[in-house]
Amino acid sequence: MDDALHTNCSIFPNSLHANSSLPVNASNTNSSLLPAYTQTNLWAWTIVELVINAIGAGSNAMLLAASLIYPPLRRNSSNVLICHCILLDLIMCAISNPGSILASQVFNDILDRTFCLGWGFIRFFTMFLDNWVHAILAVNRFIAVVTPFRYKYFVQKPFLLLGVAAPWVIVFLICIIPSLDIHHLPRYLPSNQFVGTSVGCIVNYPVRNAKTNLLIGTFGGFIPSGIAGVCYVAVFIKARITLWRRVGDMGQSFLSRYEMAKILFVCLLWYILSATMPGNFITVASFPLTHLVTRALQFISSAVNPVFFIVISQNYRSGFMAVLKCNGSVRTAVGPR
């Protein structure tokens, strides 16, 4: 998951920039007064961010391959949703984040309205979709750990297909609104039309249409993050209680589901930390280096997620090595989830 939470001095967001899936007031991202040393090193920042995302794209691709070909991972009853989640992280690293890095840090001054009507949709669609795919997977983990006896009903093919298709349809319907360029409705615009901003493409919200503003900003960021957070907190409470009461009587299935929940919770925690770091709440002119570092962490968050999978899970470590060795049958002691 990617993106950043910013403060806003009004009840409803006035704008949403393409480095963030959550509401932001454009006045909080004033970058017109960057010192010379920061402007000089901006290309270095850009190159580092692009390289990390390229590595992240490769890592996510290998993780996806491991999930598809490595037997202990492939037999996971919710593997479809996990693969969907990894695929979205791959798209973020390969397309969405690099495009936004270049748009905001290299080509911001020459962006035009026509470009942003197209790129703005792609950027916000992928960000919002990534958030919701993680939220759907969090709900799946919640059911698996909190109500395991009913879980078998929610991994049947119709439910899995619904979990994959529903976010695409709903997020598309939300994100297409600004692309229609309708007066009095939110629209994708280049940030260079607003004095002192350098964040690529933004969603500009008309003040008079507060309900639509709230719908897009809240739906894309706050709601899926809140759902995922509540689900994982419940999972950990339930798991700790169960482990405490039945330490010697736990099945491998439960422990494996708990392990997957830990991986996804760490991914969510990383997302929230990058979204709420102090650099998101200050102006670029005041603390340019802090702001750029914080924004870099947001841009690379999806690239870091494979590290959490590999570090926490023996299955994913073995599966990753199996892909590296072009061998999908490497054995592991951990059974299917």
B/e letters for 66-98, b = 16+ CB within 10 Å, e = fewer, are bbebbebbeebbbbbbbbbbbbbbbbbbbebbb
CB-count exposure of residue 241 (10 Å: 0-12, 13-18, 19+)? exposed
8 Å CB contact between 279 and 299: no
Share of the chain above pLDDT 70, in %: 67
Query: Is residue 7 a part of any domain in this protein?
Result: no
The per-residue pLDDT for 57 is: 95
User: In angstroms, how far is CA 183 from the centroid of its own chain?
Assistant: 30
The per-residue pLDDT for 151 is: 83
Find the CATH number of the domain harbouring 297. Answer: 1.20.1070.10
The per-residue pLDDT for 149 is: 82
DSSP 79-122: HHHHHHHHHHHHHIIIIIHHHHHHHHHTSGGG--HHHHHHHHHH
Residue 287 vs residue 129, higher pLDDT: 129
Query: Is residue 102 a part of any domain in this protein?
Result: yes
Query: Is residue 2 a part of any domain in this protein?
Result: no
The per-residue pLDDT for 90 is: 95
DSSP state, 198? -
Q: In which domain, by residue range, is 301 found?
A: 15-324
Residue 50 pLDDT level (bands cut at 50, 70, 90): very high
- pLDDT tens digits for range 214-262: 677 788 878 888 888 888 888 877 777 776 666 444 555 556 666 666 7
The per-residue pLDDT for 14 is: 38
pLDDT at position 269 over 60: yes
B/e letters for 258-295, b = 16+ CB within 10 Å, e = fewer, are bbbbbbbbbbbebbeebbebebbebebeeebeebbebb
Query: Is residue 1 a part of any domain in this protein?
Result: no
- pLDDT tens digits for range 171-195: 998 888 888 877 777 888 887 776 5
Spatial neighbors of 104 by CB under 8 A, at least 6 apart, are 17, 18, 19, 191, 198, 199, 200
- pLDDT tens digits for range 93-125: 999 999 988 888 888 778 888 888 889 899 999
Query: Is residue 201 a part of any domain in this protein?
Result: yes
- Residues present in the chain in total: 337
Q: What is the mean pLDDT of the chain?
A: 74
Query: Is residue 29 a part of any domain in this protein?
Result: yes
Spatial neighbors of 44 by CB under 8 A, at least 6 apart, are none
Query: Is residue 196 a part of any domain in this protein?
Result: yes
- pLDDT tens digits for range 204-223: 766 555 555 567 778 887 88
pLDDT at position 88 over 90: yes
The per-residue pLDDT for 92 is: 93
- How many domains is the chain partitioned into structurally? 1
> The tokens of 80 are what?
């479809």
- Spatial distance between the Cα atoms of 218 and 202, rounded to a whole number of angstroms: 15
B/e letters for 117-131, b = 16+ CB within 10 Å, e = fewer, are bebbbbbbbbbbbbb
DSSP state, 218? I
The per-residue pLDDT for 246 is: 62
DSSP 279-306: GGGS-TTTSHHHHHHHHHHHHTHHHHHH
Q: Please name the amino acid found at residue 103.
A: A
Query: Is residue 8 a part of any domain in this protein?
Result: no
Torsion angle in degrees (nearest 10) through CA of 322, 2, 129, 234: 80
Radius of gyration of the chain (CA): 21
